[in-house]
Amino acid sequence: MRAVQIRPARYRAALLSKYLDKLRCTAGLTFAGLAGRTGALGGDYSAVSSATLKRAAACRPVPKETTVVAFARGCGATDKHEHTALELWREARVEERGRLHQLQAPAVDNIRTPADLTAALAAAYELAGAPPLRTLQQRAGTITHSINSADWPEVFRLPLATVSRIVNRQCRCPTWEQCEAFLLGCGASGERTLGQWRQAWQLATTASRHAGNVRPDGPSTLQRHQVLKAMVGTWAAPRNPQATLNVPLAPHWARALGRLDHKEIDVVLTAGLSHYLRGSARQNGAAPDDALTAETQALLATAAHPRPTPSTTIHRAVELIEAHAAEPITMADIAEAVGISVRALMAGFRHQMDSTPMGFLRETRLQRVRQELVASDPSTTTVTAVATRWGFTHLGRFSAHYRQRFRESPSTTLRR
């Protein structure tokens, strides 16, 4: 069958478009024939027109979830193929909406405050593909009544108003029954997953009850990390390394530091000492690295990566990304290869690598591009060729990421 020629500009939407069209071509169906098959499915997936299916294959815009399911089932896809299509659809929806990064939500294990909890619940909604609120309400389930009567109205566990407040982060600290119903509506399942969320909810509600003089709507975990990075980045080493530092902390710094655990304080001390030693070496006219002792260099090497040692599963995912950095891999590919869900992969990277799988992939590709540019001859190599070889299809975004990461343009690196 003839494949769809026009692909969407967004990367995730293009992957979904390509996968859906591959299913149709494998089944040997035209869009009219596929529409006829979907008409026999019944339920919520029946009677999808050929025009709607054609727009779905082009992903301009990203189709509805029910359309993707009807498309896959009409093509006779297996459960595995249907699951892959839905994972690609969720990623395309996240990319299309663009709200997940703005939420700055912590991983479930890092939830400590009501602000963390509300941000994480909103992020769970985005990762589920942002389904219609009515659909989420139905998936959350209904309340079972002791009276078995057809006249008794069906009562949902979550009112639409509550769903809307949670999605829009207007419900500061919902009850556990509301959280559980909301998570079920977002597709979360399993005793282990819900157990992690329940523990996070308990920490958030405990912090809300015992906040004391700390404002309950204070900074989230991720915001506190950003504050700490800003503190380390603006640390000014004194000209006299033996001088005593006596700098009073502003109230917002004091509040942020007062809410840290011992691991976070270790990160601040190590990174701050690293910046102090390098600044002292520069101000004394010494080379930043050569003038330092071997013990100090070892300390700085440790401070450059203040992360916990990744688990075996995340370590395998890191090795997979580094080995296939030039290939068009997705989070679904990585999760399937290491044997965990996409959400568990995302949570593991956020908690253990202080990044996301796609963020780590981009960092790996940027490092490989830089290595190749430094070693290449500018008369025979172009930046475009190197960037494209390492999976960067949008050269404008690549140049912006490269300049932000290395403080120079890729063409400057190549001309060295």
Sign of CA dihedral 20, 22, 25, 26: negative
Q: How deeply is 356 buried, as exposed, middle or buried, from its count of CB atoms within 10 A (0-12, 13-18, 19+)?
A: middle
- List pLDDT tens digits, range 141-150: 887 654 454 5
- List pLDDT tens digits, range 341-355: 888 888 888 888 778
The pLDDT of residue 172 = 72
DSSP track, 196-252: HHHHHHHHHHHHHHT-TTS-TT---HHHHHHHHHHHHHT----SSTTSPP--PPPHH
The pLDDT of residue 123 = 92
The pLDDT of residue 247 = 43
**E strand or H helix that includes residue 265:** helix 262-283
Residue 195, token pair as written in the block = 């157990």
Least confident of 85-94, 228-237, 251-260: 228-237
Task: Please state the three-class secondary structure of 22-51 as a single string.
Answer: HHHHHHCCCHHHHHHHHCCCCHHHCCCCHH
Least confident of 178-182, 206-210, 221-225: 221-225
Least confident of 78-92, 126-140, 345-359: 345-359
The pLDDT of residue 292 = 47
If you compute the radius of gyration of the chain from its CA atoms, what whole number of angstroms results?
26
Q: What is the mean pLDDT of residues 277-284?
A: 57
Query: What SS3 class is residue 195?
Result: helix
Distance CA 176, CA 158 (A): 12
Give strand pairing partners of 142: 156
> Per mean pLDDT, which of 141-150, 236-245, 300-309 is the most reliable?
141-150
